[in-house]
Structure 1
Amino acid sequence: MSTPPSPPPPAAERTDGSTVRIGALVPLTRPGWAEAGRHLLAGLELAVREVNDTGGITGRPLELVVRDTAADPHRAAAAVEELARLGVAALAGEYHSVVARAAAARADALGLPFLCSSAVLDALTEQPTQWVARLAPAQSHGWRIYADFLLGAGHSRIAVATQPSVYWASGTRILRDHLAPRGGTVVELDMNALTPAAVCDELVGSRATALLLLAGHPEPAVSIVRSVRRDRRLAQILIGAPAGQPEFTEWAALLGDDGAAVPFLRYLPERPTPLGARVETALRERLAQAPSFVAFEGYDTIAVLAEALRSHGSTDRARTAGSWPRVAVEGTRGQIRFSRTPGTGVRQWAWPPVQVADRDPAHPDRFRILHTG
């Protein structure tokens, strides 16, 4: 199947050098997780507006040049090349880990600073690079916290409904490596070979007390939840989604009450900072719903890039990338600083706050914080 062409540049894009442009990689259409992309873009756009309201980048307006990746690594790599030719000062965004990895590889090869907002796959680049930094925590950090939550809740025999993917395989490995020394086991259920009904039979036979959804959203994840919820043999099993599916309204709309009490990872503090509270209000107005943690990641991305561009210039990409170790920015979720973290290859904020949360069964539009790390 051929790669869909990138959309034509919007009319608002300028090429006369009067603006400082940042390229934004965002999944806005299927098979990308479009709701996550919409939240990410809302955060990016809000922060750009606020930067411009306070004087821009040394008097020049900041401009966002958006490209839809549609969860396609090849499309993302092509977008990076296009944005580099358009003269953007830096890249921001991306939600899907495999897509972000492809974008990071091209950004590294082209010498284009890339601040990854949301993707968590540990090895974002094959080799250490100065060009790429990341706000989201590495998958191994967040998923170990999730594994500790499972153990603390009395779950040591875990089943994972999984599909072939570098991201899902990495998650399975992290869980197994963390649980095994603590007496836990992980049973893999291949969703390419099993129907949701067959998953229920496998769960009964495996004696697992928790099932984790390491599979695509909305399908097959939604169908798995429905089947398990309706199987009386599995009334006591915990369904979990460490990748964060229940964070978004689409999950609640599709599953209703069945989507409650499904613990997931989110990257927010227990209590918002003053900046976080103000930004939450503005994002809620922009989105017409409660913002997810992904929207805050978008806002923080622009806050960091704006500081780097103000302090180190907007015309020298190497100076921008070289500023990662010296950046110190008060973001919506705490102070952001970057360091080298083993296994990631990039400059990493170590670490954003991590929560395990779920939707409250009594009020599915509200979240409960179950565990922090």
Structure 2
Amino acid sequence: MSTSPSRPEAERTDGAPVRIGALVPLTRPGWAEAGRHLLAGLELGAAEVNEAGGIAGWPLELVVRDTAADPQRATAAVDELAALGVAALVGEYHSVVARTVAARADALGLPFLCSSAVLDALTDRPTDRVARLAPAQSHGWRIYADFLLDAGHRRIAVAAEPSVYWASGTRVLREHLAPRGGTLVELDARALAPAALNDALLDSGATALLLLVGHPEPAVPIVRSVRRDPRLAGLLVGAPAGQPEFAEWRALLGEDGAAVPFLRYLPQRLGPLGTRVATALRERLTEAPSFVAFEGYDTVTVLAEALRSPGGLDWEHVAVEGTRGPIRFSRVPGVGVRQWVWPPVQIADRDPANPDDFRVLHSG
């Protein structure tokens, strides 16, 4: 189904670009490092689209707005971008913000391609205007739960903060673990100081602790405290939301941040396109690109193809080769938006022998 009544070039004036609103967290309390990687991918994708002739000859222009992980700020940005006449919206990393963006974009009739947010219920009702590249949370976190079970963990603690996203992740884990003999113990990361959390972990009998909390606070102090408590030697610390992927984690925690398994959305091996894009992203970022940077690049590649569709932007018939594999969109039960089914999923960690390197522990 088409989400726009006409092709973008039909509404262009002479020389006017096809403007795309890009929503990214670039300042605190947003996860600014993830936002920087996402933006680098979006910008590289836009540059390459323009080098290849743009959208039917019209240049693509990103109009960037910082959401700072604030839903109200994001809503205001969507309204501003709509008033500027953007053809579509892309981006966002934080699930709660992406959910707000999706609802507002849908209400305004503005297409939105979500790059990185994973919350299953991205919209309250099914819509053809919104599509997503990142996997639904239930998909990735079930794979993470299987990894824990395969590693012999049956009693698992989660240190969580109040959030729709963290609550959803806890529910996914509990529902997937229980039929397989796993038990989830919930600890309130906001109420418990790190030392008190250590005591609660010891009392719980858990063999693994999952961090369902913000980064760097309180994730970094919790990891430091657990690693330095001899009573908790051997406890697995995990971060399914992906905090250890980024350089800031390594800089803040050093060796304490190694061997913390996390989810990322990369294949075992990049193909020729992914390898070329990885090199270009590294030059832009001056560091190794995260999976979020690849999500940004793939977002623009997909959107450019969708905008070229005869009769208007059409997710259903998009088929492109992305950096991480072929991308097509489908309907998934429980997910009200068009969804790439599925991006590759890895569980990786930083190698204790060299925390600058990653190990792939499990794939799904």
User: Residue 209 of structure 1: CA displacement?
Assistant: 0.1
Of residues 54, 57, 60, the one that matches 1:59 is 57
Q: Which amino acid aligns with 1:264?
A: F
Q: Which amino acid aligns with 2:91?
A: G
Could you tell me which residue of structure 1 aligns to residue 323 of structure 2?
332
Could you tell me which residue of structure 2 aligns to residue 175 of structure 1?
173
Taking every aligned residue pair, what percent have the same amino acid on both sides? 80
SS of residue in 2 equivalent to 1:284: helix
Could you tell me which residue of structure 2 aligns to residue 9 of structure 1?
none
CA deviation digits over 1:123-157, x for unaligned, max 9?
A: 00000001100000000000000000000001110
Of residues 83, 86, 100, the one that matches 1:88 is 86
Could you tell me which residue of structure 2 aligns to residue 299 of structure 1?
297
CA separation in 2, counterparts of 1:326 and 1:279?
24
CA separation in 1, counterparts of 2:362 and 2:131?
27
Could you tell me which residue of structure 2 aligns to residue 139 of structure 1?
137
Structure 1 residue 227 and structure 2 residue 218: aligned?
no
CA deviation digits over 1:234-260, x for unaligned, max 9?
A: 011000000000000000000000000
SS of residue in 1 equivalent to 2:56: coil
Contact in 1 for aligned 2:238/2:261 (Cα 8 Å): yes
Contact in 1 for aligned 2:15/2:58 (Cα 8 Å): no
1:25-36 residue pairs with structure 2 within 5 A? Answer: 25-36=23-34
RMSD: 1.1
User: Residue 60 of structure 1: CA displacement?
Assistant: 1.0
CA deviation digits over 1:149-183, x for unaligned, max 9?
A: 00000111000000100000000000000000000
Q: Which amino acid aligns with 1:288?
A: T
- TM normalised by structure 1 equals 0.93
Q: Which amino acid aligns with 1:213?
A: L
Range with bigger deviation, 338-347 or 239-248: 338-347
Number of residues of Structure 1 aligned to a counterpart in Structure 2 = 353
Q: Which runs of 5+ in 2 are unaligned?
A: 1-11
Could you tell me which residue of structure 2 aligns to residue 160 of structure 1?
158
Q: Which amino acid aligns with 2:350?
A: R
CA separation in 2, counterparts of 1:157 and 1:233?
17
CA separation in 1, counterparts of 2:170 and 2:133?
23
CA deviation digits over 1:266-288, x for unaligned, max 9?
A: 00000001100000000000000
Structure 1 residue 281 and structure 2 residue 279: aligned?
yes
Contact in 2 for aligned 1:15/1:86 (Cα 8 Å): no
Structure 1 residue 372 and structure 2 residue 363: aligned?
yes
User: Residue 78 of structure 1: CA displacement?
Assistant: 1.0
CA deviation digits over 1:313-345, x for unaligned, max 9?
A: 6xxxxx31xx11100010000000001111111
Runs of 4+ in 1 over 3 A off after TM superposition: 14-17
CA separation in 1, counterparts of 2:225 and 2:326?
43
CA separation in 2, counterparts of 1:54 and 1:217?
38
1:121-270 residue pairs with structure 2 within 5 A? Answer: 121-270=119-268
Could you tell me which residue of structure 2 aligns to residue 10 of structure 1?
none
Structure 1 residue 72 and structure 2 residue 70: aligned?
yes
Distance 1:243 1:15, change over 3 A: farther
CA separation in 1, counterparts of 2:328 and 2:231?
48
User: Residue 193 of structure 1: CA displacement?
Assistant: 1.2
Of residues 20, 23, 45, the one that matches 2:21 is 23
CA separation in 2, counterparts of 1:25 and 1:103?
9
SS of residue in 2 equivalent to 1:211: strand
Contact in 2 for aligned 1:210/1:240 (Cα 8 Å): yes
